[in-house]
Structure 1
């Protein structure tokens, strides 16, 4: 779950909805920014589906007693998160081999600096998977694969930018992950710099330079869950009883 806290409530966004937003953005990417159009549909499928491992976890949010906030994707207990990451990549692999390779690379990047034994077990298992999946592509273009991997990371981060920031926020008040642009996007910038986003107003976002073919709109489902209702009912029931809303955001040049 992606959480943004206000004085009286939590704005809660399901991970799979955030992932769908990832796909809805990069489907408009300028083809000239990639080495080839080969496997683009597979990379797009990876963007749409990369967080399907969270579908079950987000169905019933749980409460973080120490932080006094629902658990988010970044602080969710490690062991169930790792287990569901594997389940999610397994499910993607049954549908699209190339997309599952990208998603495996994506999840492994989260733990690349970790010495935690459970993370190391996860990384070892995914390394085996990646070797096996690459056998399905004897002429695999590693450079293109890396471009698609960076594209998946960008799509994830752009969607998080739209989810984690208060709409219309000033650049200096943005979530700290994004103030200096999107990491690992230099290959999509003509001057080898990170792509930079900013809110133009409460409904419109732009990027510099603009990596898309045209202006477009995206929709983001969310729930506003009142803190008072959580105190009365508990987080699971309060979330269930809260209505689903939808925010429309325009991405413009």
Structure 2
């Protein structure tokens, strides 16, 4: 969840709604100066579905005891957040392997940056297990995509890395 303060009260934006906005950015990305991306539909799908794993939790969110409000994505406790998103790439896999790979790469990058420091020592095992599962999934997905004649050209390390950075940029811009 995202929180926006408003004179009339708190505006709560769900993670899937935020992801929908990220997808709108993706669908309108590119011009004569910096081009577009491929595979277009798969990358847009990754942007749109990257937070689909949060939908169940957001139907009955936990409350932040300090504020009395639903936790937002920043103050959601790390252990709970890891558990909530741990199945996201598998959910997206049912829609497409390339999109699922990009979602998995997004979450491993975020978790490596924010959930592996000293503050996460209490749930380090869960985080490391999550990261190991995601890395295994990424290796298998990438191998499959590289052998697929439809996806092989877009499954090179350079193209996948660029597309992952784009999904991360749209995720950030849509906050």
TM class, shorter-length: 0.7 to 0.9
Q: How does 1:194-233 map to 2 (within 5 A)?
A: none
Cα distance, 1:158 vs structure 2: 1.1
- 2:168 is aligned, of 133, 136, 153, to 153
Partner of 2:106: 106
Cα RMSD over matched residues? 1.9
Alpha-carbon distance in structure 2 between the residues aligned to 1:9 and 1:157 = 24
Partner of 1:75: 75
**TM superposition score normalised by structure 1:** 0.58
Runs of 4+ aligned residues of structure 1 deviating over 6 Å after TM superposition are none
Cα distance, 1:31 vs structure 2: 5.5
Cα distance, 1:148 vs structure 2: 0.5
Partner of 1:130: 138
Partner of 1:121: 129
| Structure 1: gaps of 5 or more residues | 161-253
Aligned residues: 159
Partner of 1:66: 66
Q: Is the 8 A contact 1:3 1:72 kept in 2?
A: yes
Partner of 2:120: none
Alpha-carbon distance in structure 2 between the residues aligned to 1:108 and 1:91 = 16
Cα distance, 1:5 vs structure 2: 3.1
Cα distance, 1:60 vs structure 2: 1.7
- Report which of the two has the higher share of helix: 2
Q: Classify the secondary structure of the residue corresponding to 1:137.
A: helix
| Structure 2: gaps of 5 or more residues | 118-123, 147-151
Distance change (3 Å), C-alpha of 1:31 and 1:131: farther
Q: Is the 8 A contact 2:53 2:84 kept in 1?
A: yes
Is 1:2 matched with 2:2? yes
Alpha-carbon distance in structure 2 between the residues aligned to 1:158 and 1:3 = 15
Q: How does 1:182-197 map to 2 (within 5 A)?
A: none
Cα distance, 1:66 vs structure 2: 2.3
Q: How does 1:43-62 map to 2 (within 5 A)?
A: 43-62=43-62
Alpha-carbon distance in structure 2 between the residues aligned to 1:37 and 1:78 = 33
CA offsets, 1:115-138, max 9 Å, x none? 423211111110111011011122
Is 1:142 matched with 2:157? yes
Partner of 2:86: 86
Larger Rg: 1
Cα distance, 1:9 vs structure 2: 2.4
Q: Classify the secondary structure of the residue corresponding to 2:4.
A: strand
Q: Classify the secondary structure of the residue corresponding to 2:11.
A: strand
